[in-house]
Amino acid sequence: MSTVKFNAVEEFCAEIENDAQEIDRRIVRTTDVSRISSMTPNIRHILAVASYSVGEQVVRLECYCGDVWGINQEMDKKVFEKAEQIHQTVASTCEALELQNRAGVLEERTQEV
């Protein structure tokens, strides 16, 4: 199984439109992913992630939204607002195409030999 990755929400939404009739189970998944900084463990990098599958292919969006430090609630809030804006853009695209928008993320399956 292969993965097609996007970093721009507009390109990902255009891909949803192109694939709409072939999206497996008509489900597009969205969530936030938090990754701990390798330089400072108390900093978390926040990514808005969306994904769907078409046949043997996973199509995935990963948009960096910013860092959460846990010391400035206003700054942290802006990061999550950016992520929510990305999720809303994907959700609007799904709604227009009568696709389901659900939580979670699809991961590429590896075949064991």
Q: What is the mean pLDDT of the chain?
A: 93
Cβ distance 91 to 30 under 8 Å?
yes
User: Which tens digits make up the pLDDT trace of 7-17?
Assistant: 999 999 999 99
The residue with tokens 């046949």 is 55
| pLDDT for residue 112 is more than 80 | no
In the chain, % helix, strand, coil (3-state, to 5) comes to 35, 35, 25
Which residue in 67, 65, 60 sits closest to 3, CA to CA?
Answer: 60
Average pLDDT over residues 94-112: 86
The pTM (predicted TM-score) of the whole model is 0.89
CA-based nearest residue to 51, from 111, 99, 110, 113? 99
Q: How far apart are CA 11 and CA 9, in angstroms?
A: 5
- How far, in Å, CA of 79 to CA of 39, rounded? 19
pLDDT digits (tens, 9 = 90+) for 9-45: 999 999 999 999 999 999 999 999 999 988 888 899 9
